[in-house]
Amino acid sequence: MYRLWQSGNPLQSSMIDLSLLDLTLAAGLILIAIGLSYRQRIGLTRDLAIGAVRTVVQLVLVGYVLVYIFALDRWYLVVAALLIMLAVAAWTAGGRQDRPTRQLYGILGLAMLLGSGLTLVYVGSLVVRADPWYDPRYLIPLFGMIIGNAMNSASLAAERLAGEMDARRAEVEAYLALGASPARATEDAVRRATRASMIPMVNSLMVVGIVALPGMMTGQIIAGASPLSAVRYQIVVMFMLMAAVTVTGTLVPLWYRNTFFTPAEQLKVPETG
């Protein structure tokens, strides 16, 4: 069994190239979703159409950019690409909130920078050990997976904390009236927000390989890699995603809760309109 785990794929074959005709046929799948949305009056027909077009345009552009970055193989281009990904992720996570502020965008960006950055450094230096350290074939795809999940975690944490603060306003004010600090008054709200941000990733850990084969593992197998080699990479991926999600989902509520209080540690009056 150990030799089988270490061995290559005896059935390895070349990856099937997809033509423009194949991509056109695949577009029929999104047309089904658009048609059902229109038929059922779900209200997502326009979003689905725009999302499909954006998917094609964005992925094609990213493909050409990555070809350029891979060819030049310069560390500053790799770092610039990672920072752009981080900025877009922070902007997207903040835009999903009901009351986004510049301070919230900063909190989300910094939390994702620490959660994703530390995870990438750990995996890149201790697990994958890419040589050189900035090898774009590893850093960009790994960071893309990390930041995508960290973005979802940050968005869920911020949204849940805002909801908890609205629902627990009287409770928090009662704590403050009894002399509790803002940290103590919001302890349970912060805990619930962190938990909510982690649940999707925890669910993925529970069913990976049984209910679903993750994208990276599937892509490697389709490309002809050994299933066992793909499994090893996917194990690393799942662990690194859980770490990034946990760090990000912990930091966002801890920092975001301070924005609900005045410098005198009084609960701010909620904005209306």
Domain carrying residue 41: 18-72
The count of domains in the chain is 2
Let me know whether 31 and 85 are in one domain: no
Q: What is the mean pLDDT of residues 87-105?
A: 93
Q: Please indicate, yes or no, if residue 7 is contained in any of the structural domains.
A: no
What mean pLDDT value characterizes the chain? 89
Q: Please indicate, yes or no, if residue 122 is contained in any of the structural domains.
A: yes
pLDDT for the residue numbered 11? 45
Residue type, 31: L
Q: What is the mean pLDDT of residues 74-80?
A: 94
Rounded Cα–Cα distance for residues 184 and 108 (Å): 22
pLDDT for the residue numbered 5? 46
Q: Are 242 and 201 in contact (CB under 8 A)?
A: yes
pLDDT for the residue numbered 272? 58
% of the chain exceeding 90 in pLDDT: 70
Q: What is the mean pLDDT of residues 117-129?
A: 94
Instruction: Please choose, from the candidates 194, 193, 197, 196, the residue with its C-alpha nearest in 3D space to the C-alpha of residue 164.
Output: 193
Number of alpha helices (DSSP H) and beta strands (DSSP E) in the chain: 11, 0
Which one of 27, 45, 72 terminates a domain? 72
State the pTM of this model: 0.84
Question: What are the angstrom distances between the C-alpha of 100 and each of 93, 162, 180, 242, 271?
Answer: 9, 11, 28, 26, 12
Q: Are 8 and 232 in contact (CB under 8 A)?
A: no
φ/ψ of 267, rounded to 5, equals -70, 130
Let me know whether 96 and 220 are in one domain: yes
Q: Please indicate, yes or no, if residue 11 is contained in any of the structural domains.
A: no
Let me know whether 221 and 134 are in one domain: yes
Q: How confident is the model at residue 1 (pLDDT cuts 50, 70, 90)?
A: very low
